[in-house]
Structure 1
Amino acid sequence: MPLPDEPLERLGFLTIGSFDEADPAAGHETTLRMIERGEELGFDSAWLRHRHLQFGISSPVAVLAAATQRTSRIELGTAVTPLGWENPLRLAEDLATVDVLSGGRLNPGISVGPPMSYDDVKGSLYPDTADAEDFGTGRLTRLLDLIGGARASEFAGVRGIEEFSDRVQPHSPGLRGRTWYGTASIGSAARAGELGTNLLTSSVVRSEGRTDFAEIQALHIEAFRAAHSTGRVSQGLVVVPTDSATPAQRRKYEEYAAARLPRTREPQGPAGMMFARDIVGTSAEIAEQLYAHAGFRLVGEVVFALPFRFAPEDYEQILTDMATHLGPALGWKPRTGD
């Protein structure tokens, strides 16, 4: 619980890995370099979002596999993988493989529910089973069980000249304890605790009759901890420090936040979603706002989201300020090696 006299334990960042449709390789390379730079700066973790059928990383697990070969210490996560797009057995194999490649640094973040714009994609995603697919907690339970070593096949042994296992291979024993559940409601936060995962709080939550975002986020954390007192909790907000920013960069960041501010004032859409405000300012100003934030006061680690579609030099400035100004203002110390 970070207070001015209690240091923040872990600092991470999150990106969607934007790219130009005409030159996607350049954008993916920028993301990989960003992860490398995060390790150099001492960040504890780097996380990738999924952006299916958009101009952001659609396959974070593949990109993180590449990142494992370009880093040695920083933890690597997905925040989050929408499980409705995935086959749990195949995803379990991919996650275990990347975890082995990373030396046990993978932190898979998962969410449940139907894929976004499901009516538009179900014909391609599940052409024969679209109306029969289970997008609820059962799908997540299957993944967690498979990652943990549960039986995946009725057969184990030798057939002909080939040997088969009845569980996912490779098996990575510590991976199940590093799974995270991204939640948007009090009920799903409690469910994360009951499942024994860690909790990724979101910058977008269901209002459930409330309009104070910080209060809602704090209620999620309390519901999770009531069910899983020892589980890890990470707070997610968009935070943009400006300590070393140029005047032009500061204007850009402030205009970005201002354009997104209206959606934070009241619940949005049929589901009544509440959006967190972007926090832009000097590290001292940001630290003051975080210490007053009910959600932040309940966590020991954060994963700050980077704004969308900024230039590489903007991300370099933001990450550098996070590690050298904002982190220390919150009592955090960079990791330099293990």
Structure 2
Amino acid sequence: MKKIGFLSFGHWNPEAGSPLRTAGDTLLQSIDLAVAAEELGVDGAYYRVHHFARQLASPFPLLAAVGAKTSKIEIGTGVIDMRYENPLYMIEDAGAADLISGGRLQLGISRGSPEQVNDGWRYFGYQPVEGEDPSDMARRHAEIFLKHLDGEGFAQPNPQPMFPNPPGLLRLEPHSEGLRRRIWWGSGSNGTAIWAAQMGMNLQSSTLKVDESGEPFHIQQGKQIRAYREAWKEAGHDFEPRVSVSRSIFALTNDMDRAYFGRSKSDDQIGYIDNFRGIFGRGYADEPDRLVEQLKGDEAIAEADTLLLTVPNMLGVEYNNHVLENIMTHVAPAMGWR
């Protein structure tokens, strides 16, 4: 058994002929796709966050809206860039979205990927402190977020408040019990996966990773997951973690599928991002029976308990619902995920 969710980057394009011409189009269709996916039996609706881009950027209004319109599907991010975040204000936003959804929030956070603007976090008012780089700053923000998410009081109350206070130090409100165990770290290396385990976060591993051995992507990612689980065991946390991987997977069942994805024969690729050598995992597109055989050879998918399917959101809700239905009908049962 495996949980299956979709991951949307939320692209939109203002040009004539684009099916999603505005941010409003993308936000509303993101909600509609989550509702449709829940009806299909999909387990999760996840959204990417990018600043200064024609993509989804402010996750919490969207997550709250999805939570209010659905009843069962997990809602989450993959990922929120912590270089840009005020961790205390984020606790309030996350608590509210989780309470609206009835405790279904699965919040993916990380250092984030390269952005549209150089050092864009500067415009949000953040700077690394002396001795830090931006990745260190992201982890520092994450540690502050995690420290106060449990709901322990830490702020000295005003002795003459406008409204009565509970006794003792005050915590941030609204507090959502149990959310701390549903925080994920998006990791692109073995080292950050181990750090995530030590910090008691679930693991999100995507289709980009530091190339640490020269081996195929899925093998490196499988090793990363095993290193994470070993570090988790050594840390002695009192709950079982979850691990997700993301993939582009398309079962070709009609002429439209074949027109869009039938020629996309992909392999792992090597590239350089932020001065490190990265390996990008392949996508999958084929007739269902051949697709199943290919997926059986993906070591990291086998290791993970959650699979996030990246969807081409600009092709619209109806087509993306078809993409998800193909996976749930033709692939998931044959793979033993259902």
TM-score for the superposition, normalised by structure 2: 0.86
Q: Deviations over 1:140-180 (max 9, x none)?
A: 11111121124442327761435376112111111001111
Aligned residue in 2 for 1:336 = none
Is 1:84–1:114's contact at 8 Å kept on the other side of the alignment? Answer: no
The answer as to 2:324 corresponding to 1:303 is no
Aligned residue in 2 for 1:320 = 325
SS in 2 for 1:149: coil
Is 2:249–2:284's contact at 8 Å kept on the other side of the alignment? Answer: yes
Structure 2 matches for 1:19-168, cutoff 5 A?
A: 19-21=12-14, 22-112=21-111, 116=115, 119=118, 121-126=120-125, 129-132=126-129, 135-155=137-157, 159-161=161-163, 163=165, 166-168=170-172
Q: CA RMSD in A?
A: 2.3
Name stretches of at least 5 consecutive residues in structure 1 with no aligned partner: 1-7, 334-338
Deviation at 1:302, TM superposition (A): 1.1
SS in 2 for 1:94: helix
Aligned residue in 2 for 1:289 = 294
Deviation at 1:131, TM superposition (A): 4.5
Is 1:11–1:45's contact at 8 Å kept on the other side of the alignment? Answer: yes
Aligned residue in 1 for 2:17 = none
1:184 to 188, 194, 202: 188
Cα distance in 1 between the residues matched to 2:59 and 2:102: 17
Q: Tell which deviates more after alignment, 186-195 or 304-313.
A: 304-313
Cα distance in 2 between the residues matched to 1:43 and 1:248: 22
Cα distance in 2 between the residues matched to 1:152 and 1:56: 36
Deviation at 1:309, TM superposition (A): 3.3
Cα distance in 1 between the residues matched to 2:112 and 2:42: 31
Cα distance in 2 between the residues matched to 1:288 and 1:115: 34
Aligned residue in 2 for 1:280 = 285
The answer as to 2:235 corresponding to 1:250 is no
Deviation at 1:112, TM superposition (A): 2.2
Distance 1:113-1:74 versus aligned 2 partners, 3 A rule: closer
Q: Tell which deviates more after alignment, 11-20 or 187-196.
A: 11-20
Is 1:20–1:27's contact at 8 Å kept on the other side of the alignment? Answer: no
Distance 1:213-1:114 versus aligned 2 partners, 3 A rule: closer
SS in 1 for 2:203: strand
SS in 1 for 2:79: strand
SS in 2 for 1:272: strand
2:247 to 218, 234, 237: 237
Q: Deviations over 1:84-133 (max 9, x none)?
A: 1110001111001100000000000010268736635344222xx53537
1:209 to 213, 217, 235: 213
1:15 to 8, 22, 25: 8
Name the aligned partner's letter for residue 17 of structure 1: G
Is 1:213–1:276's contact at 8 Å kept on the other side of the alignment? Answer: yes
SS in 1 for 2:118: helix
The answer as to 2:168 corresponding to 1:199 is no
Name stretches of at least 5 consecutive residues in structure 2 with no aligned partner: 15-20, 234-239
Aligned residue in 1 for 2:236 = none
Percentage of matched positions with identical amino acids: 28
Q: Tell which deviates more after alignment, 277-286 or 84-93.
A: 277-286
Distance 1:159-1:311 versus aligned 2 partners, 3 A rule: closer
Name the aligned partner's letter for residue 318 of structure 2: E
TM-score for the superposition, normalised by structure 1: 0.86
Deviation at 1:52, TM superposition (A): 1.3
SS in 2 for 1:50: coil
Q: Tell which deviates more after alignment, 72-81 or 131-140.
A: 131-140
Cα distance in 1 between the residues matched to 2:270 and 2:122: 35
Deviation at 1:248, TM superposition (A): 3.5
Cα distance in 2 between the residues matched to 1:122 and 1:9: 36
Aligned residue in 2 for 1:5 = none
Cα distance in 2 between the residues matched to 1:282 and 1:288: 10
